[in-house]
Structure 1
């Protein structure tokens, strides 16, 4: 979904005779749909269950891809993109939740990283296939993963934790036994899940007005600020319209797309090696600094082009700058933001505060996706990349000074699914962030 608009841009614009405004609307509708999906995802997953919600996301995706594939006008193209966005917004919530709830504690991190790896791989495959396939055929190919998952939904067990939450004890134990194997003793894990479920029932969740109390101000600011800034720095604009960025710099859009597809995959493995060793904040700072350098290099290339300098070199500078940007984003700003959001919010505000942070991120993502093409046309690419680089610099500063002091907390999981939080000396401390205690 994310990787579709860049390789398909020239074909769609030529075949349907779209203006810059019309294609910008098409590209940005994915984020509007994502915001809609994010708003309803938690309620839907709790009401229908994780497995059935996955099936709903697949239906939205299949209908969306079909609408794009057969489009003859802009409105059906936009409808398809909006449906894909809703599917993406639902998927972004329910898949990590389902994965976390079905995997053993000692394998949870590996599965989360593998999930991120599959996302980046999907984007890379879309870039590669877009070089050889037409935009309609690429949309048809996009149906295949959703169709496979829709069939697979009927073959996988429901989340044991969700079944325990709604009081289906027999089905909960049967699902857990199926996941762990018929010869595995699940007594201890089943007891832990029941204890966790009972703990949730004792916690009274806050409403939207209570969320804005002073005691929640710091963690709310950190979460919403990180999500918003990570989207405002231009990631979706650069990835959605990468082909046009390369072509505006005088470089082949096809070759640039292939290079972009290849460079993103190894970047996913950097957090695997470094996250637990150096911490979340260090990865965010390194990632933001790398993104800033990539933007600076690409912006400098446009400066040379404006003054007629290094004409044979400036296109390659744009390519290298964008590739550095694409590599450094998964290193810290990709999955790490979601992990921080999961760790810093207390249980009684986690759902509401998490939704608010996610919604802020989707809205900022829409702003970037919609205005990026206009910005490239109305001003020099130099200005676009320098603005993005400036924001990346501020993110690095924000992560360095705005999120408290890093501390280590080696306490074990408490059984209420808050693996890193503990009250210590009047402060609420995560393994990699510390902030005022929420009482």
Structure 2
């Protein structure tokens, strides 16, 4: 098919988004049948995921240095560490609206701007007020990224690669967290804040060279732009007619429905999709991951294990196991990996609970460090292989495009609220009972297994339109 090389893109006055900055260059590669553009586009998008992870990982290695330099109390630093989730919740509320109005690329630009501003404010901070303002700004950007990146990747990826490519969102997130844990032991807290500017710089530059989401363009009525974007993503020699027709037919079906409102999310035709995603988000967060992650150093210290060695092992394990999960998701499927992860989370929680119980009872105290670290690593590895990435993959797959903005915002908001609740209560729970905390997490993860068995469908190898048809039939 012929593709126009000089077209103004956008459907509303004031919206002029070029499909790519140098379209001729991309098309020349596409004519040779290179599907590399899908991988390149995914790489650019997941720089947002890396930024997300850098924000999460920042507070753990910098606690002592920031408190000392700025003379912060523990309560002031705790506010700084946790307030990022409030910024992220605001970002989650607005993310769907922004991504639907100015596009997935536009939303990533907005998110990047907030992150850049936030890191610079943190870098120049001389007291707790500016420090908190910067943290809220980066949190807002993280909240938008957490929604728009997996949605964008799911909308541009071929169905046989969608799971693996979307899982790269989580892989980059944990990689950034791990890097922050490690280099935070070497760099000053101000220098570590400046490293947060690197992924946003790569993302902002890369956005000039990648296409917009074809499905978003189709939804906005840009037929030529939609077909051009899809052709670039699939390669010049690829026959996109069937995929394009399937997407257009689905969009036309949605257009015949009334314009969705927030309460429409709870109508019968959307309720199952909402239940699946919200349930997975709640299970992901209330199972304890952010408590374990945010306070890994103090947990290792309480167990009597070296905090430096523990955090390095933790960091490396996250990266490796998340990579394994990305390789397996389109082969093993979403549901089997979720179930495997669920059983591992229960086992890891129980092992850690036993270790802290032995310490409290002063029985076999010498075995406590090794047993506690083993439990934490089983827990982290299990989360990384399934429960970390797959809820975001499912969110990007299951919702129809006409409600994806509102439903995705709600799911992301609940996820961030759960993250705050878990991270805020962790220290209180550990003060109440160290082993009781992990028994509680084991029980919640056992409930998650039951939810996955009964409610969650398999989406492997299906187009987005096929998934939504199967769920709502």
Q: Same fold (TM over 0.5)?
A: yes
Matches within 5 A, 1:39-438: 39-181=93-235, 186-187=240-241, 189-213=243-267, 217=271, 219-272=273-326, 274-276=328-330, 278-345=332-399, 349-376=403-430, 378-400=431-453, 402-403=454-455, 413=463, 417-422=464-469, 428=471, 438=472
SS in 2 for 1:271: helix
Change (3 A) 1:216 1:147: closer
Change (3 A) 1:318 1:272: same
Tell me, yes or no, if the aligned pair for 2:164 and 2:327 is still in contact at 8 Å: no
Structure 1: segments with no counterpart, 5+ residues: 429-437
Which position in structure 2 is the counterpart of 1:432? none
SS in 1 for 2:455: coil
CA RMSD of aligned residues (A): 2.8
CA distance in 2 between counterparts of 1:40 and 1:317 reads 43
Tell me, yes or no, if the aligned pair for 2:330 and 2:460 is still in contact at 8 Å: no
CA distance in 2 between counterparts of 1:409 and 1:115 reads 18
What do residues 229-273 of structure 1 show as CA deviations (whole Å, max 9, x unaligned)?
321121111111211221222222221111111101221244345
Aligned length: 419
- Superposition TM-score, scaled by structure 2 size: 0.79
Change (3 A) 1:231 1:205: farther
Tell me, yes or no, if the aligned pair for 1:61 and 1:83 is still in contact at 8 Å: yes
CA distance in 2 between counterparts of 1:75 and 1:174 reads 48
CA distance in 2 between counterparts of 1:157 and 1:277 reads 28
CA distance in 2 between counterparts of 1:331 and 1:186 reads 33
Quote the offset at 1:277 in angstroms. 5.4
Change (3 A) 1:211 1:169: closer
Change (3 A) 1:51 1:222: closer
- Superposition TM-score, scaled by structure 1 size: 0.85
Quote the offset at 1:70 in angstroms. 2.3
Tell me, yes or no, if the aligned pair for 1:60 and 1:83 is still in contact at 8 Å: yes
CA distance in 2 between counterparts of 1:219 and 1:102 reads 21
Change (3 A) 1:20 1:291: farther
Quote the offset at 1:192 in angstroms. 4.3
Quote the offset at 1:216 in angstroms. 5.3
Structure 2: segments with no counterpart, 5+ residues: 1-54
Quote the offset at 1:190 in angstroms. 4.3
Change (3 A) 1:213 1:199: closer
Quote the offset at 1:142 in angstroms. 1.5
CA distance in 2 between counterparts of 1:410 and 1:294 reads 27
What do residues 36-62 of structure 1 show as CA deviations (whole Å, max 9, x unaligned)?
111111111121122222111111111
Tell me, yes or no, if the aligned pair for 2:95 and 2:405 is still in contact at 8 Å: no
Change (3 A) 1:180 1:298: same
SS in 1 for 2:258: coil
Tell me, yes or no, if the aligned pair for 1:65 and 1:142 is still in contact at 8 Å: yes
